[in-house]
Amino acid sequence: EVQLVESGGGLVQPGGSLRLSCAASGFTLGSHRMNWVRQAPGKGLEWIVYIGFSDSRTYYAASVRGRFTASRDNVRSSLDLQMDSLTVDDTAVYYCARDQVGDYYTDYWGPGTLVTVAS
Amino acid sequence: IVMTQSPATLSVSPGERATLSCRASQSVRSKLAWYQQKPGQAPRLLIYGASTRATGVSVRFTGSGSGTEFTLTISNLQSEDFAVYYCQQYHEWRTFGQGTKVEV
């Protein structure tokens, strides 16, 4: 069974940092492109990071570029999202999401982890 | 690429048909997916390639369109279909529409 489980969310002050992780199981992580998507409370979905088969091909949405850094470890079957210089606008549920092998649409999502940026 | 969904909210009775629209600011060919999201849950893939149902998705869900205009039709609405629906283009990176809430 395909499983993606995010962790590392919590409360952080504005200007602070947080590192999220995503543990993948039930499939070979190295065969899939991956993404991070977030959803602010009561709002819609916002795609923020695309990670190719390796860290070398990573693309960030303008809203997080320069502040967030994504990485993956295909051997450990995990992804990380380092979030720096956080603002209240970064408050959201963060989802780890898998692209279908051989294509670019997202077929599986983790349950998400909540990040709250507040003083 | 900006994705625009309409309407924002759709009020439908059980057993009726719901028609949701999604428009892209430029052509995304058929690189369009639809997702369903229920409160407190992660999104679930319904349609990819504009018209292909994902595994396990009911035949009541039909996707159509290409280029810039897309439609998701839900026929014979069931209680479990009341949710928020998002379109997403994956032709150029990724962009979501703002969502359509289907309510009773």
Residue-wise pLDDT for B32-81, tens only, equals 999 999 999 999 999 999 999 999 999 999 999 999 999 999 999 999 99
pLDDT value of position A102: 81
pLDDT tens for each residue of A5-20: 999 999 999 999 999 9
Q: Which residue of A has its CA nearest to B46?
A: A107
A35: confidence class by pLDDT, cuts 50, 70, 90 = very high
B16 pLDDT higher than 90:
yes
A57 pLDDT higher than 80:
yes
User: By the 8 A CB rule, do A6 and A20 touch?
Assistant: yes
Contact assignment for B96 to A47 by CB distance below 8 Å: yes
Q: Which residue of A has its CA nearest to B49?
A: A105
pLDDT value of position A80: 96
Residue A53, min C-alpha distance to chain B (Å): 15
User: For residue A16, what are its two tokens?
Assistant: 């602070």
A107: confidence class by pLDDT, cuts 50, 70, 90 = very high
Torsion angles phi and psi, residue B61, rounded to 5? -100, 125
**Mean pLDDT, residues A55-66:** 90
What is the β-pairing status of strands A113-117 and A10-12?
parallel
Rounded CA-CA distance B14/B5 in Å is 22
Chain A residues whose C-beta sits inside 8 Å of any chain B C-beta: 35, 44-47, 50, 59, 95, 100, 103-112
Rounded CA-CA distance B32/A15 in Å is 36
Which whole-number Å values give the CA distances from B6 to A12, A20, B28, B90, B102, in the listed order?
Answer: 36, 34, 18, 19, 11
**Mean pLDDT, residues A36-59:** 92
pLDDT value of position A110: 97
B-chain CB neighbours of A109 within 8 Å are: 42-44
A55 pLDDT higher than 70:
no
| CA atoms in the 13 A half-sphere facing the CB of A58 | 18
A56: confidence class by pLDDT, cuts 50, 70, 90 = confident
For chain A, what percent of residues have pLDDT higher than 90?
92
Q: Determine how many CB atoms are found less than 10 A away from the CB of residue B102.
A: 20
Instruction: Tell whether omega for the bond before B43 is within 30 degrees of 0, i.e. cis.
Output: no
Q: Which residue of B has its CA nearest to A113?
A: B42
**Mean pLDDT, residues A40-59:** 90
User: For residue B71, what are its two tokens?
Assistant: 């439609």
The one-letter amino acid at B31 = K
pLDDT value of position A54: 75
A103: confidence class by pLDDT, cuts 50, 70, 90 = confident
**Mean pLDDT, residues A75-97:** 97
pLDDT value of position B67: 96
